[in-house]
C-alpha cells in the first residue's frame, strides 16, 4: 500500500463513524410510539417544578418543546459517555436509536408547561 492510499484509508476509517451517526440522526421518530416509552422519563422530566427529591434534590432540565435533534443528540452523548450524569447514563444505556427518535418526536411536540412553585 502506498503512503497516499494508506492515508486515504485511514481518513475513510476515521470519517465512517461520523457518517454513520449522521445517517442514524435522520431516523424518523414516531411521537405515538414515543408516548408509550416516556414512563421511564416522566418521573423526572414530567413533574411540575422540574425537581427530583431522591436521591438528592436537583433540577431536571425541561425537555418538552425542545428540538428533536437536540434531544437525540443529548441522549446519544449520555449513552456514549460523552456527557455524564448517573441517571441519564443508566437510562440511555437501555435505549435504541429508534427509542431515542420516538422519545424526541414525542417530547418535541409535548406542550410546554410552566414550572409551578
Distance, CA of 27 to CA of 11 (rounded, Å): 25
Q: Tell me which of 16, 40, 48, 80 binds ligand HEC, using CB under 6 A.
A: 40
Where in 50-109 is the site for ligand HEC (CB under 6 A)?
52, 58, 60-61, 63, 71, 74-75, 83, 85, 87-88, 91, 103
In the bound state with ligand HEC, the residue whose beta carbon lies nearer, of 11 and 30, is 30
Could you tell me whether strands 58-59 and 51-52 are parallel, antiparallel, or unpaired per DSSP bridges? antiparallel
Query: Which residue carries 421518530 as its cell?
Result: 29
Minimum CB separation from ligand HEC for residue 20, in Å?
21
In the bound state with ligand HEC, the residue whose beta carbon lies nearer, of 8 and 96, is 96
Phi and psi dihedrals of 55, rounded to 5? -80, -15
**Per the structure block, which three cell numbers stand in for 81?**
459517555
Question: Helix or strand or coil: residue 14?
Answer: helix
Binding site for ligand HEC (CB under 6 A): 40-41, 43-45, 52, 58, 60-61, 63, 71, 74-75, 83, 85, 87-88, 91, 103
Amino acid at each position: 500500500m502506498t503512503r497516499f492510499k494508506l492515508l486515504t484509508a485511514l481518513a475513510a476509517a476515521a470519517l465512517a463513524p461520523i457518517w454513520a451517526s449522521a445517517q442514524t440522526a435522520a431516523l424518523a421518530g414516531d411521537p405515538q410510539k414515543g408516548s408509550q416509552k416516556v414512563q421511564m422519563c416522566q418521573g423526572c422530566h414530567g413533574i411540575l417544578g422540574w425537581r427530583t427529591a431522591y436521591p438528592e434534590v436537583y433540577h431536571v432540565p425541561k425537555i418538552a418543546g425542545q428540538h428533536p435533534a437536540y434531544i437525540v443528540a443529548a441522549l446519544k452523548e449520555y449513552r456514549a459517555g460523552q456527557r455524564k450524569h448517573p441517571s441519564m447514563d443508566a437510562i440511555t444505556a437501555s435505549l435504541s436509536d429508534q427509542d431515542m427518535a420516538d422519545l424526541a418526536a414525542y417530547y418535541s411536540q409535548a406542550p410546554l408547561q410552566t414550572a409551578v412553585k
